Amino acid sequence: MHILKSSIALVLLLSACEALPIGGAQPLLTSSAPAPIANSALTSSSQSLSTIETNPDRQPQPRSAAEVAFMKAQLNAIQPRSIAEDREYCGYLGRLPNGDFAISGPKRGQPAGCTPNNPPANMRVIASYHTHAAYAPRYDSEVPSSTDLEGDITEGINGYVSTPGGRLWFTDGAAQSTTQICGIGCLAADPRFRPEPNPVKQSYSLAALRQRQN
């Protein structure tokens, strides 16, 4: 989700999304990978945000080069459709029982919001993912929103976010921060994109995102 560049803009989670014909709850693609990553920081999706924010013992969750490469390829493939339709696409990244990475089929959302379908039962979810649709000057879409990060924190997972300018972000739910994996043009970008007048930093804490978007 990306938000309006306005201090009075209200951010609403949009659940009325359309599914792609390929099937929203099925893995779109898998890739052979090393043994599953230990993920002791995973928590129940019912855990409250306030509980997570006040837990000083949470540690950054691990990620591998193979995981990043897999998600970079997946989001790069989804970007052109997301930009052309000006719709966010979203889903989950996980591990299958054989250790392969897989993503749930990307679900078509709205220009500024998307709620993924439930992942397949045999997928151990480790991250969310979504695109930020087409370039629109009224949106601060080159960074994940605080709502994006809060959602991953609440679910106890990480996240990947692609932007109209072709940036790829990694949100660490345990560390409560987001970091650019790669910058402008790293992924397929909207030809209409223009660099943000508000400089984009390499990383943001949850508090810094809230400050930027207020």
| pLDDT bucket at 51, cuts 50 / 70 / 90 | very low
How do strand 101-104 and strand 89-95 relate by DSSP bridges? antiparallel
- Hey, what amino acid is at 150? E
Instruction: Residue 20: name the closest of 146, 112, 109 by CA.
Output: 109
Strands (E), the chain: 18-19, 27-31, 89-95, 101-104, 107-108, 124-131, 158-162, 168-172, 177-182, 203-205
- Residue 43 covered by a domain: no
Tokens representing 110 are: 């709205």
| pLDDT bucket at 213, cuts 50 / 70 / 90 | confident
Domain that holds residue 99: 28-35+61-212
- Residue 193 covered by a domain: yes
Instruction: Residue 167: name the closest of 59, 84, 79, 57 by CA.
Output: 79
pLDDT above 80: residue 21: no
- Residue 47 covered by a domain: no
- Residue 21 covered by a domain: no
pLDDT digits (tens, 9 = 90+) for 101-158: 999 999 999 999 999 999 999 999 999 999 999 999 989 999 999 999 999 999 999 9
- Residue 98 covered by a domain: yes
- Residue 169 covered by a domain: yes
Q: Which residues contact 186 (CB under 8 A, 6 or more apart)?
A: 72, 166, 167, 168
- Residue 12 covered by a domain: no
When divided into structural domains, the chain yields a total of 1
- Residue 163 covered by a domain: yes
| pLDDT bucket at 29, cuts 50 / 70 / 90 | low
Query: pTM value?
Result: 0.76
By the 10 Å C-beta count (0-12 exposed, 13-18 middle, 19+ buried), 100 is classed as middle
pLDDT above 80: residue 199: yes
